[in-house]
Structure 1
Amino acid sequence: MTQIVYLKPPENIADRAATLRISTRTAHEGVDEAIMKSGALDSPQNYHRFVHFQHQLILDVEPLYRREDLQKIFPDLSQRSRLAAVQSDAAYLGIDPPIGRSGADLYDIGIPEALGWLYVSEGSNLGAAFLAKLVWAHGLTDDAGATHLAPPAIGRAAHWRAFTASLNAVEQTPDEDRRTIESARRAFAHVRALIGSHL
């Protein structure tokens, strides 16, 4: 079975990002496996389901990218939102958008919990490099149908390093770090649930 290969963050990243990676490895691998088993990237028709899934997921996490308290931690947070890109892809492909958000309202969660969700959301940009190659095989491009999978202007690795630098700079107590890990696991569980219902 084909595996999604993620770019590895630098070895000298601070402990929080490394701890999150280790603590969520099983959940992360489960998401990768579920996506590949779904066959959502095997054909243009199946890819429509994938875009609908991505649209729902990105819509669900969008409140985080609009929160002023989080924008103080991640100055480029609003520019990292992929909602406009996935909306463009859905329109190009003629896909009806999801109706509303699913799951918890992320406007109301604490900063430690928000960091866990953002870790999962931003980490998906690394895996998108592999997903994009599969989609290109169907004739779609970064400008037509696969915009939300396109690399950031500064490159995926640099984009990730900038995020983890800000993530690791947040001062938290051990209990708050525990809440961040638990939240990241909940975020992966939410992704798995969406895979089950959309793919």
Structure 2
Amino acid sequence: MTDLIEERSRSKRLKDMTHETHDRLDKAIVAQRPFENLERYARFLAVQYGFHRDIDALYDDPALDALLPDLSGRRRFSQIVQDLKDVGGEAPLIVTSPRFTHGEIDLPTAMGWLYVAEGSHLGAAFLLKWSAALGLNETHGARHLAASPEGRARHWREFTAALDSIDLTPVEEARVIEGGKAAFVRVHGLVRDVFGDV
């Protein structure tokens, strides 16, 4: 049984080890009815803004760029900023510094955070459909939910294949998992901050 667990890919282990935290977050977001109206959607965008502000520096990191395909093309922070403007929302006041800053990036931890960011993009197809009921689309208000030109599934497979191929020590592997968990916890905290206690 241990051998079978060890043979699972890094991305599969990440999915398994963050499942409970991910599930709690999904339920918390759904409970806030973010696609009920534009005001609630703007709050959802504020959550996205906070998370992607935290990780924006990762997309400029040369070491990560050498390991993960089209890293800069996966960046969504500027799209979220424009989406907020489209719906009349404002960038939230965040008193804490971004989670990652240039030159101070622990690569394994960053991989866990990027796994969460990329996974959310894979699942954004449903969110894009729901945003259409608010009159939003890939060019107005829901830019950050748009699929990549090659399609969501291929974009995700390319990312996870690269993630799975990186050689790491057992200690570094643990930091990847902790990074993924921390990313989900961070988003949950942003949901509480923006929508109230959940």
TM-score, scaled relative to structure 2: 0.89
Gapped regions of structure 2 (runs ≥ 5): 1-6
C-alpha displacement of 1:101: 7.1
Residue 82 of structure 1: which of 76, 94, 100 is its match? Answer: 76
1:57-109 C-alpha deviation (Å, 9 max, x unpaired): 11111011111111111141011100121111112122222345745531323
Gapped regions of structure 1 (runs ≥ 5): 1-12
1:15-58 C-alpha deviation (Å, 9 max, x unpaired): 10010000100011111101000112222221111112111211
Is 1:139 the counterpart of 2:135 in the alignment?
Answer: yes
Asked if the contact 1:56–1:101 (Cα under 8 Å) also holds between the matched residues in 2, the reply is no
Aligned residues: 187
In the alignment, which residue of structure 2 is the partner of 1:174?
170
RMSD: 1.7
- Residue identity in the other structure for 2:74: R
Asked if the contact 1:60–1:102 (Cα under 8 Å) also holds between the matched residues in 2, the reply is no
In the alignment, which residue of structure 1 is the partner of 2:4?
none
Give me the whole-angstrom Cα distance separating, in 2, the residues matched to 1:46 and 1:110. Answer: 34
Give me the whole-angstrom Cα distance separating, in 2, the residues matched to 1:99 and 1:159. Answer: 32
Is 1:195 the counterpart of 2:187 in the alignment?
Answer: no
Residue 30 of structure 2: which of 27, 33, 36 is its match? Answer: 36
Give me the whole-angstrom Cα distance separating, in 2, the residues matched to 1:129 and 1:118. Answer: 18
- Residue identity in the other structure for 2:14: L
Cα 1:126–1:101 change in 2 (3 A) is farther
1:97-138 C-alpha deviation (Å, 9 max, x unpaired): 234574553132311111111111111101211111111111
In the alignment, which residue of structure 1 is the partner of 2:61?
67
- Residue identity in the other structure for 1:142: E
In the alignment, which residue of structure 1 is the partner of 2:16?
22
TM-score, scaled relative to structure 1: 0.88
In the alignment, which residue of structure 1 is the partner of 2:158?
162
